[in-house]
């Protein structure tokens, strides 16, 4: 018996000539919580797929439980005790909790007929593994994200799992739910199950894992003990660059509020929100996932309609009932979810940049001025340093950071007075994150008013001139980022 449960040794894998993995290795001890980190496209997911048998490596081998395999099939991986919990959880929203929990086992056993008694027993057994209680006849579609994740975890446990791989499991969870998840993970560890935790969130790596491995561009950069890791080193390993973070100090002088919000309410989401914003300021709004921060942003941009209160632009009241109204008021909005709200992935970079200001790029009633369009596209690609050989390429060809720049360009092209960003650097690699912060600070210095809505505390503390903390739909604190720290903010949030 070796010391390691899993040893992936010298794995190489290429796709159409592109090397996704170059001689990487990964070792996991039994009952260990191991964190695999790296920026998007570093090869994390490819390695997971190799371990779970979805891809066959070009060379290298995998040793599991002391046995050496040069090839693994998906079914073989399950039989060995490897379970993957994907980001989308691989669940059926249209079916009941019971069926979701029992299908894999039933199929693996080769049962052809549905036996509800047996399935119920399997489901109950699955839930009992982590002492979780849930109504078995509920439709999974009606569960919260965290509950769905529990279903996925319970299901994974049915196969005498020795290793559970979790692919970015905390992305859509609230802080409370994350701590609940971590408790479960510790429980599993106590049962001797090893966890491979894939994440690029630093605080999670610190909190939960014992050892870590970091990939960059398909290569293994470092592997070691989490205790020896710190903030700076982590960023450096991830990106290969060193960053000096500058605190934002507003320099643009202005009088009066460009935006003022008075007692704004949206039934069931937030209540009695008031704040003012001057040009050149960056206002941070933070709070937990369920604090109403996102709904506030959506209401300011007209996606949801506020049910009470007032919005004043340059001192006069405005009604914002649709995004069009908001744009007319000079408000731009970078949404939370780039893939489903921010970006037309299959469409060209250029089209994405000009879509919001397209009605201005016309001659005659609505005939496109193609020269003006091209000029606008070229200008913003240059200005925001979007790394592309050709703006006619699809946006999906770019990395997360560059994609976020496109969304930013789209709004800057509308020349807004106020730019609202909801989670501006979610899913963006550290390098681009740094650049985006620089851009926001520069915009503020040029006289734009910026609102950053984020639960990334270092982000808001570093970049904002004012900070509002929300909880349960209300403002609970207004802080000066220069004179507060993460723990104070957290204590207001919780």
Partner 1 sequence: MNAVKRIYQRDRHIFRLIVMIVAWMIFMAITRFDKFYTVVNFQTMAGQFPEFGLMSLGAMLCMITGGIDLSSVGIANVTSILLALFMNAQAAKSESGDISVAMIALVFVMAVCIGLVCGSINGLLISKVKIPPILATLGINQLLTGVCMVVTGGNAVSGLPAAYSASINNKILKVVPGKRGTMQGLIPVQLLFFVVAALLVWFLLMRTSYGKKLYMMGTSENVARFSGVKVDRMLIKTYALSGMLAAMGGMIMLANYNSARSDYGNVYTLQCILIVVLGGVDPKGGRGKISGVLLAIVLLRLLETGINRFPQISSYYITLIWGAVLLLVMVLNYFEDHPIVKRK
Partner 2 sequence: MDLKKTVRKLTGRSEFYILLVFIALCLLIEVRSHQFFTPNNIVDLLSALVVPGIFAIGEFMVIVSGGFDVSFPALASLTGFAVTKLLLNMDYQGGVWLPILMTLAIGGLLGAFNGLFIGYFELPAMIVTLGSSSVFKGFMQGTLNSKQLATIPVGMRNFGTSALFVAQNKQSGLTSRMPTTFIALVVVLVLAWFLLNRTMFGRGIYASGGNAVSAHRAGFNVKRTRFLMFVFVGMISALAGMCRVCMMQQMHPTNMLGMEMNIIAGVVLGGTAIVGGSGTLFGCMLGTALIVVVENSMILIGIPTVWKDVFVGALIVLGTGLSAMQVTRAQKASLRNVRKEAAK
> What residue ranges bind partner 1 (CB under 8 A)?
301, 303, 322-324, 326-327, 333, 335, 340-347, 351, 354-356, 358-359, 361-362, 366-368, 370, 410
Phi (first) and psi of residue 331, to 5 degrees: -110, 130
Tell me the window of 3-11, 84-92, 193-201, 254-262 that interacts with partner 2 (CB under 8 A): 84-92
Name the residue among 371, 369, 364, 339 with its Cα closest to residue 352: 339
95 touches partner 2 (CB under 8 A): yes
Two structure tokens written together for 42: 């570093």
Distance between CA 320 and CA 324 in Å, rounded? 8
Tell me the window of 56-64, 91-99, 432-440, 458-466 that interacts with partner 2 (CB under 8 A): 91-99
The item of partner 1, partner 2, none sharing an interface with residue 366, based on CB under 5 to 8 Å by kind, is partner 1
Contact (Cβ atoms closer than 8 angstroms) between residue 436 and residue 408: yes
Name the residue among 218, 221, 224 with its Cα closest to residue 235: 221
The item of partner 1, partner 2, none sharing an interface with residue 359, based on CB under 5 to 8 Å by kind, is partner 1
DSSP 8-state secondary structure symbol assigned to residue 447: T
86 touches partner 2 (CB under 8 A): yes
The item of partner 2, partner 1, none sharing an interface with residue 95, based on CB under 5 to 8 Å by kind, is partner 2
The item of partner 2, partner 1, none sharing an interface with residue 106, based on CB under 5 to 8 Å by kind, is partner 2
The item of partner 2, partner 1, none sharing an interface with residue 323, based on CB under 5 to 8 Å by kind, is partner 1
SS3 call for 8? strand
CB of 414: closest distance to partner 1 in angstroms? Answer: 8
In this chain, which of 59, 70, 108, 245 binds partner 2, going by CB under 8 A?
108
CB of 176: closest distance to partner 2 in angstroms? Answer: 9
In the complex with partner 2, the residue whose CB is nearer, 224 or 268, is 268
The item of partner 1, partner 2, none sharing an interface with residue 324, based on CB under 5 to 8 Å by kind, is partner 1
Site for partner 2 in 166-205 (CB under 8 A): 174
State in Å, rounded, how far the first CA of the chain is from the last one.
Answer: 46
Distance between CA 177 and CA 146 in Å, rounded? 6
Distance between CA 4 and CA 196 in Å, rounded? 13
Return the exposure string of 448-464: e unless at least 16 CB atoms fall within 10 Å of the residue's CB, then b: bbbbbbbbbbebbbbbb
* Residues in the chain, total: 494
In the complex with partner 1, the residue whose CB is nearer, 153 or 354, is 354
In the complex with partner 1, the residue whose CB is nearer, 367 or 494, is 367
The item of partner 1, partner 2, none sharing an interface with residue 355, based on CB under 5 to 8 Å by kind, is partner 1
236 touches partner 2 (CB under 8 A): no
355 touches partner 2 (CB under 8 A): no
Alpha helices by DSSP H, 306-362: 323-328, 349-354
Tell me the window of 108-116, 232-240, 319-327, 370-378 that interacts with partner 2 (CB under 8 A): 108-116
Name the residue among 65, 66, 67 with its Cα closest to residue 161: 65
Beta bridge partners of 13: 21
In the complex with partner 2, the residue whose CB is nearer, 144 or 171, is 144
Site for partner 2 in 112-131 (CB under 8 A): 112-114
CB of 154: closest distance to partner 2 in angstroms? Answer: 14
Query: What residues contact 103, with CB distance under 8 A and at least 6 apart?
Result: 92
In the complex with partner 1, the residue whose CB is nearer, 64 or 301, is 301
In DSSP notation, 202-270 reads HHHHHHH-SEEEEEETTEEEEEEEGGG--HHHHHHHHHS----PPPP-------S-SEEEEEEEETTTE
Name the residue among 86, 294, 40 with its Cα closest to residue 174: 294
In the complex with partner 1, the residue whose CB is nearer, 222 or 345, is 345
132 touches partner 2 (CB under 8 A): no
In this chain, which of 5, 20, 269, 460 binds partner 2, going by CB under 8 A?
269
In the complex with partner 1, the residue whose CB is nearer, 65 or 341, is 341
CB of 344: closest distance to partner 1 in angstroms? Answer: 5
SS3 call for 323? helix
Distance between CA 154 and CA 131 in Å, rounded? 10
111 touches partner 2 (CB under 8 A): yes
In this chain, which of 94, 305, 396, 491 binds partner 2, going by CB under 8 A?
94
Two structure tokens written together for 254: 């202005």
The binding site for partner 2 (CB under 8 A) comprises 74-75, 86, 88, 90-95, 99, 103-104, 106-108, 111-114, 142, 144, 174, 268-269, 290, 472-473
């Amino acid at each position: 018996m070796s010391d390691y449960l899993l040893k992936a040794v010298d794995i190489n894998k290429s796709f159409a000539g592109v090397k996704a993995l170059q001689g990487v290795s990964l070792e996991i001890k039994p009952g260990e919580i191991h964190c695999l980190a790296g920026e998007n496209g570093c090869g994390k997911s490819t390695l997971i797929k190799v371990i779970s048998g979805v891809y066959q490596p070009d060379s290298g081998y995998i040793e599991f439980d002391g046995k050496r395999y040069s090839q693994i099939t998906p079914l073989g991986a399950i039989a060995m005790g490897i379970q993957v919990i994907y980001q989308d959880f691989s669940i059926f929203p249209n079916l009941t909790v019971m069926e979701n929990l029992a299908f894999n086992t039933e199929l693996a056993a080769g049962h052809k007929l549905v036996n509800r008694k047996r399935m119920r027993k399997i489901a109950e057994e699955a839930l009992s593994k982590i002492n979780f209680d849930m109504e078995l006849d509920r439709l999974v579609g009606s569960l919260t994200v965290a509950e769905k994740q529990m279903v996925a975890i319970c299901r994974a446990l049915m196969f005498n799992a020795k290793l559970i791989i979790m692919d970015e499991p905390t992305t859509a969870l609230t802080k409370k739910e994350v701590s609940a998840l971590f408790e479960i993970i510790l429980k599993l560890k106590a049962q001797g199950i090893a966890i491979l935790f894939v994440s690029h969130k630093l605080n999670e790596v610190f909190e939960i894992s014992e050892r870590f491995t970091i990939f960059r561009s398909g290569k293994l950069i470092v592997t070691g003990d989490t205790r020896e890791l710190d903030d700076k080193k982590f960023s450096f390993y991830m990106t290969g660059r060193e960053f000096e973070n500058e605190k934002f100090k507003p320099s643009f002088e202005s009088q009066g509020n460009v935006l003022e919000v008075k007692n704004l309410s949206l039934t069931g989401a937030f209540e009695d929100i008031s704040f003012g914003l001057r040009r050149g300021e960056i206002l941070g709004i933070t709070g937990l996932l369920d604090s109403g921060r996102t709904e506030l942003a959506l209401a300011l941009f007209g996606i949801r309609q506020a049910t009470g209160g007032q919005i004043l632009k340059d001192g006069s009241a405005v009604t914002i009932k649709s995004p069009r109204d908001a744009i007319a008021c000079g408000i731009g909005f970078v949404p939370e979810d780039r893939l489903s709200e921010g970006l037309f992935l299959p469409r060209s970079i250029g089209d994405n940049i000009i879509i919001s200001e397209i009605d201005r790029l016309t001659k005659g009633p609505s005939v496109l001025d193609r020269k003006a369009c091209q000029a606008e596209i070229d200008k913003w690609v240059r200005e925001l340093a979007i790394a592309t050989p050709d703006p006619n390429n699809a946006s999906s060809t770019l990395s997360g950071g560059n994609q976020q720049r496109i969304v930013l360009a789209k709004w800057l092209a509308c020349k807004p007075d106020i730019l609202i960003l909801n989670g501006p650097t979610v899913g963006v690699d550290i390098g681009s994150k740094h650049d985006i912060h620089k851009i926001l600070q520069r915009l503020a210095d040029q006289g734009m008013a910026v609102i950053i809505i984020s639960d990334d505390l270092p982000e808001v503390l570093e970049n904002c001139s004012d900070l509002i903390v929300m909880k349960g739909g209300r403002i609970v604190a207004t802080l000066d980022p220069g004179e507060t720290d993460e723990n104070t903010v957290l204590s207001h949030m919780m």
